[in-house]
Amino acid sequence: MSQRKATTSDAGRATIRDVAERAGVSVASVSRVLSGNYPVSEELRRRVMKVVRDLDYVTNAHARSLAGGGTPTVAILINNITGAAFAHVAKGVEGAATLRGWLSLVGTTGDDPERELALVNLMRQQGVAAVILLGGAYDYDEYQLRMARFARSLDAAGSHLVLVGRPPLEGDVPATTVDYDNEGGAYAMASHLLSAGHRRVLVLPGHAELTTAQARLRGAQRAFQAYGMPFDPGLVRHGRYDYEHGYEAVEAALHETPDFTAVLAGTDVVAAGAMQALRSAGLRVPEDVSIVGYDDIPLASQLTPQLTTVHVPYEEMGRVALRAVADRREGGSGGRKSADGDHLVLGTHVVVRNSVQPPAPRG
Amino acid sequence: MSQRKATTSDAGRATIRDVAERAGVSVASVSRVLSGNYPVSEELRRRVMKVVRDLDYVTNAHARSLAGGGTPTVAILINNITGAAFAHVAKGVEGAATLRGWLSLVGTTGDDPERELALVNLMRQQGVAAVILLGGAYDYDEYQLRMARFARSLDAAGSHLVLVGRPPLEGDVPATTVDYDNEGGAYAMASHLLSAGHRRVLVLPGHAELTTAQARLRGAQRAFQAYGMPFDPGLVRHGRYDYEHGYEAVEAALHETPDFTAVLAGTDVVAAGAMQALRSAGLRVPEDVSIVGYDDIPLASQLTPQLTTVHVPYEEMGRVALRAVADRREGGSGGRKSADGDHLVLGTHVVVRNSVQPPAPRG
DNA sequence: TTGAAAGCGGTACCAC
DNA sequence: GTGGTACCGCTTTCAA
């Protein structure tokens, strides 16, 4: 193909040396002009900038980070990029990152521990400022050990582990947790149903092993207890946080334990499925059966009737998570960062819409 | 704090030199063992790997890419990470990337040209294999020039511009386009309504300047023409691709041009808003008014009634986009890659559900 | 097979 | 203020 002078490299990008040469100055000067953090004569600056524009030069980020500087990067690790809640956290992280000139890497684990490990290592290679793990965790045996290992590994590499939307790790682990009052939200939501007069509530908390689901179930149970009402485990159905589960769980419940007057869904999406199943069975919402959700994603206010649900500040959690790592970074050496990391908890609250009504009198 | 030996660096991560030293071999050998693409004695490998595990060592990605190798990275640039359609494309890209061991960077532009430019340059600095721009574009005056500049700029840096979900650039621009048959889908969707007997169709194509909206409107118009039916511009309402627009547009139309019997929404989300507005006005879907959408995101099948819509293979588009850049990379030097880049078009098709019925006889 | 050393593209310290 | 230059951590010839 076309081959120009060998100096101004034809393949690949222009280097700082190309710029220096063409501007008739030293590479050090070019570096200074571009960094802008050093006094430089107006004349030099002009000359350099002209060549930079002519060559459409940009610094090589890899070289820059090797040499010292470099753009901080955060890695966002997520099970499934498609979930609305996750998307909002990611938005918060990415937005806050961009605001600071940081970059965001994204990886999806698909609930596969192997992939998760591979990604954490990949991110470690990249020298990311932090690895942010989003979403509830499956609390299997090795989970704590696994995460502790991640945390120490990242910490040793000058990076940091941030857990968002799941409980903090036990013991002295160098990790930061950004969580929300999951159990409290569920407690409030269940209380809302109880105070409307509901006693037989179908509960769809999510997977039994998922920390998120466990907290929501606990919250519901506590509410029943506080109201002095018996909590029937037979009305609890576990399953995935998706539309299909909501649908199928309600369908099954209508056959097996049809005396419930309300559904406490683990997420808004599950609530949507539940609502559809009730409709298909000829039941009206909320006249015949009330429904509440959890998350307060846009879908909640788009359903008919609009869904009463628990608002979780997902986007803010993302922002808070990023701010936490940024702060800790500025804190620098000798900062008073506790070895066991911080634990930030954001509040949740019930958003009352139109999907709840006192139970219909027994027919 | 604790300060061990200066050799095995206490702060920051272990380097290849640390590993070499501790294993009593040369750095070259360590490099070879880790790359695995070079014959190495079993004994050496064992010694090195042990130290690697002991030190929990991972290669510095920046140094590696500077020196030659390195993990290819793709950048996904998106307006709003929150949109379901975008999320699916991103999933396709990220999935295909991870499959090849590639990394995915993500940036959001928020429809701000400045941010977009800044991001493209940032990505150029990172030396990404490709920059993938997602979603329809606003076809303002400078758009073509702007994109051409991006394309050449990236191309000169050994990177590549990929446009996904928007029309290809004009002229000899080094960019790849992955598009879908947008107009064809709209044509088919409108035809579906027409053949059901609808004549007065409220059309909500999206923003007038958005390429996506333009194509969908053209498709609808062509369908009317093919049916020999007059197309009333007075029944077209432009606006954002969101729930609120769907709601407000229908609300307004019910006041001003209430004789429509069907709504052709620009996206499923707009359709959801439209559906809600009709309900609020006491109209039934599809008995009184039919509705169709576009995109076929999960929401479409979760609405009541389930939405008849146009399926767009978003996730596949993402995969295809990544494959395109991977192929072009392997094609290597002298490959037969045309200067004007490729243009890949995926098909769309109507998914018939329950939101369309022949128009009710005039009351 | 293994080791020594020359870069990769910048940054920043040290002279002038 | 500006130029020379020693690294940053790794890959990859080139010799041994």
Measured in angstroms, what separates residue B33's CA from nucleotide C2's C1'? 12
Query: Could you list the pLDDT tens digit for every one of the 363 residues in chain B?
Result: 333 333 333 457 899 999 999 999 999 999 999 998 888 999 999 999 999 999 999 999 999 999 988 899 999 999 999 999 999 999 999 999 999 999 999 999 998 999 999 999 999 999 999 999 999 999 887 999 999 999 999 999 999 999 999 999 999 999 999 999 999 999 999 999 999 999 999 999 999 999 999 999 999 999 999 999 999 999 999 999 999 999 999 999 999 999 999 999 999 999 999 999 999 999 999 999 999 999 999 999 999 999 999 999 999 999 999 999 999 988 754 444 554 459 999 999 999 999 999 998 754
Please list, in sequence order, all residues whose beta carbon lies within 8 angstroms of the beta carbon of residue B318, skipping any fewer than 6 positions away: B88, B89, B90, B91, B92, B93, B94, B95, B96, B164
User: What is the model's pTM?
Assistant: 0.93
The minimum CA-CA distance between A228 and chain B, rounded to whole Å, is 37
Give strand pairing partners of B344: B178
Is the distance between the Cβ of A23 and the closest atom of strand D smaller than 7 Å? Answer: no
pLDDT band at A11 (very low <50, low <70, confident <90, very high): low
Q: How far is CA B338 from the centre of its chain?
A: 24
Counting one residue from A and one from B, how many pairs have CB atoms under 8 Å apart?
Answer: 142
Which three-class secondary structure state does DSSP give residue B108? strand
Question: Which token pair is A48?
Answer: 């350099």
Q: How far is CA A252 from the centre of its chain?
A: 32
Residue nearest to nucleotide D1 (CA to C1'): A40
Any idea which nucleotide's C1' is nearest the CA of B28? C3
Measured in angstroms, what separates residue A28's CA from nucleotide D1's C1'? 12
Is the Cβ pair A60, B81 closer than 8 Å? no
| Mean pLDDT, all residues of chain A | 92
A116, amino acid identity: E
> pLDDT value at position A333?
42
Total number of residues shown for chain A: 363
Instruction: Find and list the nucleotides of strand C having atoms within 7 Å of a protein beta carbon.
Output: 1-5, 7-13
Angstrom distance (rounded) from CA B63 to CA B85: 36
Nearest CB to B91 within list A82, A88, A153: A82
Dihedral sign of CA atoms B21, B24, B29, B34 in order: negative
pLDDT band at A188 (very low <50, low <70, confident <90, very high): very high
Residues A149-177, mean pLDDT to the nearest whole number: 95
| DSSP tag of B362 | P
Residue nearest to nucleotide C3 (CA to C1'): B26
Nearest CB to A156 within list B56, B103, B121: B56
Angstrom distance (rounded) from CA A294 to CA A196: 18
- Cα–Cα distances (Å) from A305 to A84, A265, B237, B297, in that order, read 20, 15, 26, 21
Is the Cβ pair B94, A103 closer than 8 Å? no
> pLDDT value at position B232?
97
Please list, in sequence order, all residues whose beta carbon lies within 8 angstroms of the beta carbon of residue B363, skipping any fewer than 6 positions away: none
Any idea which nucleotide's C1' is nearest the CA of B39? C1
Nearest CB to A81 within list B87, B157, B302: B87
The minimum CA-CA distance between A80 and chain B, rounded to whole Å, is 8
Q: Residue A126: closest CA among chain B residues belongs to which residue?
A: B61
> pLDDT value at position A139?
86
Nearest CB to A60 within list B11, B13, B127: B127
Which of A9, A64, A125, A301 to mutate to test binding with chain B, by most B CBs within 10 Å of its CB?
A: A125
> pLDDT value at position A362?
55
Residue nearest to nucleotide D9 (CA to C1'): B63
Is the Cβ pair A125, B58 closer than 8 Å? yes
> pLDDT value at position A5?
33
DSSP string of B30-87? Answer: HHHHHH--S---HHHHHHHHHHHHHHT----HHHHHHHS----EEEEEES-TT-HHHH
Angstrom distance (rounded) from CA B106 to CA B286: 40
Nearest Cα neighbor of A94 from B77, B74, B120, B84 is: B77
- Set of chain B residues whose Cβ sits within 8 Å of the Cβ of A116: none
Nearest CB to B62 within list A65, A158, A273: A65
**Per-residue pLDDT tens for A207-232?**
999 999 999 999 999 999 999 999 99
Nearest CB to A298 within list B65, B76, B243: B243
Rg of chain A taking only CA atoms, in angstroms? 27
* B227 phi and psi angles, rounded to 5 deg: -90, 0
- Set of chain B residues whose Cβ sits within 8 Å of the Cβ of A80: 91
Measured in angstroms, what separates residue A31's CA from nucleotide C13's C1'? 14
Angstrom distance (rounded) from CA A237 to CA B272: 29
Is the Cβ pair A104, B104 closer than 8 Å? no
Tell me which of A170 and B336 has the higher pLDDT. Answer: A170
List of domains in chain B: 2-57 (1.10.260.40), 72-180+314-347 (3.40.50.2300), 182-312 (3.40.50.2300)
Which of A18, A93, A104, A106 to mutate to test binding with chain B, by most B CBs within 10 Å of its CB?
A: A106
Q: Residue B58: closest CA among chain A residues belongs to which residue?
A: A125
Give strand pairing partners of A175: A161
> pLDDT value at position A360?
84
Given a cut of 50, whether residue A173 has pLDDT beyond it is yes
Given a cut of 90, whether residue A12 has pLDDT beyond it is no
Share of chain A above pLDDT 90, in %: 88
- Set of chain B residues whose Cβ sits within 8 Å of the Cβ of A59: 125
Measured in angstroms, what separates residue A57's CA from nucleotide D12's C1'? 27
Angstrom distance (rounded) from CA B139 to CA B144: 8
**Per-residue pLDDT tens for A54-94?**
999 999 999 999 998 789 999 999 999 999 999 999 999 99
Rg of chain B taking only CA atoms, in angstroms? 27
A308: left (phi over 0), alpha (psi -120 to 50) or beta: beta
> pLDDT value at position B140?
83
The minimum CA-CA distance between A29 and chain B, rounded to whole Å, is 19
Asked if A241 and A294 touch (Cβ cutoff 8 Å), the reply is no
DSSP string of B228-269? Answer: T----GGGB----SSHHHHHHHHHHHHHH-TT--EEEESSHH
Residues A265-276, mean pLDDT to the nearest whole number: 98
A130, amino acid identity: A
Is the Cβ pair B108, A98 closer than 8 Å? yes
Measured in angstroms, what separates residue A28's CA from nucleotide C14's C1'? 13
Is the distance between the Cβ of B59 and the closest atom of strand D smaller than 7 Å? Answer: yes
Q: How far is CA B329 from the centre of its chain?
A: 20
Angstrom distance (rounded) from CA A179 to CA A314: 10
pLDDT band at A338 (very low <50, low <70, confident <90, very high): low
Nearest CB to B61 within list A58, A64, A126: A126
Instruction: Find and list the nucleotides of strand D having atoms within 7 Å of a protein beta carbon.
Output: 1-5, 7-13
> pLDDT value at position A22?
95
Three-state SS string across chain A, please?
CCCCCCCCCCCCCCCHHHHHHHHCCCHHHHHHHHHCCCCCCHHHHHHHHHHHHHHCCCCCHHHHHHHCCCCCEEEEEECCCCCHHHHHHHHHHHHHHHHCCCEEEEEECCCCHHHHHHHHHHHHHHCCCEEEEECCCECCCCHHHHHHHHHHHHHHCCCCEEEECCCCCCCCCCEEEEEECHHHHHHHHHHHHHHCCCCCEEEECCCCCEHHHHHHHHHHHHHHHHCCCCCCHHHECCCCCCHHHHHHHHHHHHHHCCCCCEEEECCHHHHHHHHHHHHHCCCCCCCCCEEECCECCHHHHHCCCCCEEEECCHHHHHHHHHHHHHHHHHHCCCCCCCCCCCEEEECCEEECCCCCCCCCCCC
> pLDDT value at position B354?
96
Given a cut of 90, whether residue A7 has pLDDT beyond it is no
Asked if B355 and B285 touch (Cβ cutoff 8 Å), the reply is yes
The minimum CA-CA distance between A300 and chain B, rounded to whole Å, is 12
> pLDDT value at position B36?
87
Measured in angstroms, what separates residue B203's CA from nucleotide C16's C1'? 74
Is the Cβ pair B125, A58 closer than 8 Å? yes
Any idea which nucleotide's C1' is nearest the CA of A64? C10
Strand order across the beta sheet in which A262-265 lies: A201-204, A262-265, A290-292
Is the distance between the Cβ of B156 and the closest atom of strand D smaller than 7 Å? Answer: no
Is the Cβ pair A81, B90 closer than 8 Å? yes
The minimum CA-CA distance between A296 and chain B, rounded to whole Å, is 14
